[in-house]
Structure 1
């Protein structure tokens, strides 16, 4: 046991240091997202979605740094990452609208002026919509019309269209108690 600890002493120290540093960064990023969520009165489910994105980012960084710590060279690591990203890139190019909606969802988390419960009007020449925002998901908005019809509106389109606030509803303020 002592021989293993002595042999891999530097790698173990580096691993512990990386894990502690990344946990601190993760806590800071989550606190920042939570602070933005509370300040902007964002729904708790949207804040939790940001937490998932932060976790994925930290996991990728940890995998990269720990692979370097345990002796995987830059050439091998770059080969693996470039191959993986090439496959992912081809696959994601085929589903670019999903990526566009996720990116729009992240942008909307930080700078979307409308909240759940607000009634908005989307100025679209083909399909103008006036509805109340029921939920804001990672890919789309759930809008409820005055007739009770549920409309699923993609996040990337809501950022491309002109939107008017018809009525601000203070009833739905679940975002104040985000984790």
Structure 2
């Protein structure tokens, strides 16, 4: 056992240093995302979702670096990752819509100009909608129409359609019974 520790001592020390650096980066990342989210008026659920996405990405990068520290060769990792990505790619091709909505959710976190409580109008020639944004989730928006109907609208479609802001923070008026339409 001591001989094994002695053989891998340098790799273990380097691993601990890398893990400590990544822990600091992870903490800074979480603080930064929270600060950006709160400054932009984004609800806490969306902030937590983006933190989760970025944490998983950071963990995957950390795993790759640790594999190199312990002697994995690039060609070996390339073979493993290409095989894994091929299987994942085939499996996910059937559910591209879900990936599109998740990607749109991340994009919306950083650049969506509307927030929960805003009344918007979606200019869709087949199904125009005027409603209040009730929630912004990973896959879809929850929109509440004036008649009380809940409409779930996919994130990837909201980024493809023209949207007009009808009234900021319209949810207060909605809760107080004002006629918004």
Q: What is the TM-score of this pair, normalised by structure 2?
A: 0.90
Worse-superposed segment, 25-34 or 100-109: 25-34
- C-alpha distance in 1 between matches for 2:170 and 2:15: 48
- C-alpha distance in 2 between matches for 1:171 and 1:23: 39
- C-alpha distance in 2 between matches for 1:171 and 1:114: 13
Which string of whole-angstrom CA distances, capped at 9 and with x for unpartnered residues, describes residues 137-168 of structure 1? 01100001111111000001001111111111
- C-alpha distance in 2 between matches for 1:85 and 1:60: 13
What residue in structure 1 maps to residue 175 of structure 2? Answer: none
Alpha carbons 2:132, 2:143 under 8 Å: kept: yes
The 3-state SS of whatever aligns with 2:11 is: helix
- C-alpha distance in 1 between matches for 2:75 and 2:4: 27
1:5 positional shift: 2.6
Distance 1:147 1:171, change over 3 A: closer
What residue in structure 2 maps to residue 114 of structure 1? Answer: 114
Worse-superposed segment, 122-131 or 162-171: 162-171
- C-alpha distance in 2 between matches for 1:29 and 1:73: 29
* 2:46 equivalent to 1:46: yes
- C-alpha distance in 1 between matches for 2:37 and 2:171: 17
RMSD across aligned positions (CA): 1.5
- C-alpha distance in 1 between matches for 2:135 and 2:148: 15
Aligned 1:22-33 pairs, distance under 5 A: 22-33=22-33
Ranges in structure 2 where 5+ consecutive residues have no aligned partner: 173-181
The 3-state SS of whatever aligns with 2:84 is: helix
Which string of whole-angstrom CA distances, capped at 9 and with x for unpartnered residues, describes residues 86-132 of structure 1? 11111222211111111110110011111101111101100000111
The 3-state SS of whatever aligns with 1:91 is: helix
1:171 positional shift: 6.5
Ranges in structure 1 where 5+ consecutive residues have no aligned partner: 173-179
The 3-state SS of whatever aligns with 2:169 is: coil
What residue in structure 1 maps to residue 63 of structure 2? Answer: 63
What residue in structure 2 maps to residue 175 of structure 1? Answer: none
The 3-state SS of whatever aligns with 1:160 is: coil
What residue in structure 1 maps to residue 8 of structure 2? Answer: 8
Q: What is the TM-score of this pair, normalised by structure 1?
A: 0.91
What residue in structure 1 maps to residue 142 of structure 2? Answer: 142
1:170 positional shift: 7.4
Aligned positions, number: 172
